[in-house]
Amino acid sequence: MATRLTIGRAAEAAGCKVQTIRYYEQIGLLRRPPRSEGNQRLFAQEDIRRLAFIRHARALGFPLQAIRDLLSLGDEPEQSCEAADAIAKAQLGDVEQRIEYLQALRRELKRMVEQCRGGRIADCRVIEVLSDHAPCEMFNHAVPRSGVGSP
Amino acid sequence: MATRLTIGRAAEAAGCKVQTIRYYEQIGLLRRPPRSEGNQRLFAQEDIRRLAFIRHARALGFPLQAIRDLLSLGDEPEQSCEAADAIAKAQLGDVEQRIEYLQALRRELKRMVEQCRGGRIADCRVIEVLSDHAPCEMFNHAVPRSGVGSP
DNA sequence: CCTAACACCTACAGTAGCTGTAAGTTCAAG
DNA sequence: CTTGAACTTACAGCTACTGTAGGTGTTAGG
């Protein structure tokens, strides 16, 4: 029951473009999958899961290098625990800062939507509220240049 | 006490590169600030706050268009309530999905760090856990192409 | 006052992470 | 066996920066 998928189905499953998958293969994030008689890629379920993981992590703004690090945790389960621990902890700290910031953003957006019920926007404090994190270095690795928005 | 900052100080304050600020000015995300005698930009505190907001939002993976929308909530407080409401609600939905996903990521990272205390990584389930969100369309606009990571 | 060092200026080229297009091949339905 | 969608490679183009070149402004020390 080796239900292998062609690249189009894989892309559909992961919610990304076909070219993105080929790109990930090219830069070594995904293995080079076996090919059909006619030279078409055939992806196993494991490939699809790995791809889905990459897409989710990208959607959250993790750069490919951080994703490479996270993936290495699963790829080399026999590597020293300290190394894995360091990667996981760094990502965890990053994730917690993101959550905190997003919760502040959510509070303010909710407040605005509430206020809107009453007619006009009196005072929009989105910027004030969300820019005042002065000493928070935020993330250690840079934000995706190209839209990490939504795939 | 108009404590205006030169571009270098502004960049330091916001945790970004000098060129990034000039870029934001160029694409109209930041106003063209007043200049000194010698033609150097002088940023007011309000500019810095706006810049800090943009950087935070970018670090979270929001594309510049979404940031433009958020900023417009503050820039045009007299705009129709329906328009503002639509923007705020769309962003709110996006933000809530991000929070949910990040919380799942946090749970799993914590689990790994816990497990790590015990010595070696027995079974790393990071990928399994985070790729199993099959039917979650996640975000509506694409992920930043270029690193939203950290600046 | 003069100069060295450093921050600023414009302009443009290069990078990451995709995304689209062109030109051609393969596969599955009818 | 044909038609058309899905695949192939290759390469150009996009977003959001980032770096570099070549020149000007600003400031600290002598």
Percentage of chain B modeled with pLDDT above 90: 33
Tell me if A137 and B81 make a contact (CB, 8 A cut-off).
no
Name the residue facing B113 among A89, A112, A146 (closest C-beta): A89
Q: Confidence band (pLDDT; 50, 70, 90) for A123?
A: low
- A143 with B59: CB under 8 angstroms? yes
Residue A74: predicted pLDDT:
66
Beta bridge partners of A5: A43
Task: Locate the domains of chain B by residue range.
Answer: 1-59, 62-143
Nearest to B48 by CA among B2, B4, B104: B4
The predicted model gives A16-40 an average pLDDT of 95
- B149 with A139: CB under 8 angstroms? yes
Residue B79: predicted pLDDT:
61
Provide φ and ψ at A110, rounded to 5°.
-60, -45
A127 touches strand D (CB under 7 A): no
In terms of C-beta distances under 8 Å and separation of at least 24 residues, what long-range contacts does A77-86 make, across chains too? A77/B121, A77/B122, A77/B123, A77/B124, A78/B120, A78/B121, A79/B121, A80/B120, A81/B116, A81/B119, A81/B120, A81/B121, A84/B112, A84/B116, A84/B121, A84/B124, A85/B112, A85/B113, A85/B116
CB-proximal positions of chain D, under 7 Å: 6-11, 14-20, 24-26
B151 touches strand D (CB under 7 A): yes
Q: Does residue A33 belong to the interface with chain B, where contact is any CB pair within 8 Å?
A: no
Q: Does residue B134 belong to the interface with chain A, where contact is any CB pair within 8 Å?
A: yes
Q: Is the pLDDT of residue A150 over 50?
A: no
Residue B149: predicted pLDDT:
34
If one compares A20 and B75, the residue with the highest pLDDT of the two is: A20
Q: Measuring from the CA of residue A150 to each C1', which nucleotide is nearest?
A: C18
Q: Is the pLDDT of residue B6 over 80?
A: yes
Distances (CA, A) of B84 to B20, B48, B60, B67, B75: 28, 24, 21, 13, 11
B38 touches strand D (CB under 7 A): yes
Per residue in B130-144, pLDDT (tens digit) is 555 533 433 333 333
Q: Is the pLDDT of residue B108 over 70?
A: yes
Task: Measure in Å the smallest separation between the Cα of B72 and chain A Cα atoms.
Answer: 10
Task: Residue window 55-74, chain A: list those with CB within 8 Å of chain B.
Answer: 55-63, 66, 70-71, 73-74
Beta bridge partners of B144: A147
Task: Measure in Å the smallest separation between the Cα of B45 and chain A Cα atoms.
Answer: 11
Tell me if B53 and A126 make a contact (CB, 8 A cut-off).
yes
Interface ipTM above 0.90: no
If one compares B147 and B129, the residue with the highest pLDDT of the two is: B129
If one compares A41 and B121, the residue with the highest pLDDT of the two is: A41
Task: Measure in Å the smallest separation between the Cα of A83 and chain B Cα atoms.
Answer: 10
If one compares B106 and A88, the residue with the highest pLDDT of the two is: B106
- A8 with A43: CB under 8 angstroms? no
**Which residue spans within chain A are E strands per DSSP?**
142-148
Q: Is the pLDDT of residue A111 over 60?
A: yes
Name the residue facing A61 among B59, B94, B137 (closest C-beta): B59
Q: Is the pLDDT of residue A121 over 70?
A: no
CATH topology of domain A1-61: Multidrug-efflux Transporter Regulator; Chain: A; Domain 2 (1.10.1660)
The predicted model gives A31-48 an average pLDDT of 95
Per residue in A61-106, pLDDT (tens digit) is 778 888 888 787 766 655 556 666 777 787 788 888 888 888 888 8
Both structure tokens of B43: 């940023």
Outline where chain B has alpha helix (H): 7-14, 18-26, 45-59, 64-75, 81-116, 126-131
Nearest to A91 by CA among B131, B115, B107: B107
How far, in Å, is the CA of A61 from the C1' of nucleotide C18? 14
Residue A44: predicted pLDDT:
96
CATH topology of domain B1-59: Multidrug-efflux Transporter Regulator; Chain: A; Domain 2 (1.10.1660)
Residue B80: predicted pLDDT:
60
Name the residue facing A53 among B95, B113, B130 (closest C-beta): B130
Both structure tokens of A31: 């293995």
Per residue in B17-37, pLDDT (tens digit) is 999 999 999 999 999 999 999
Tell me if B58 and A128 make a contact (CB, 8 A cut-off).
no
Q: Which residue of B has its CA nearest to A131?
A: B53
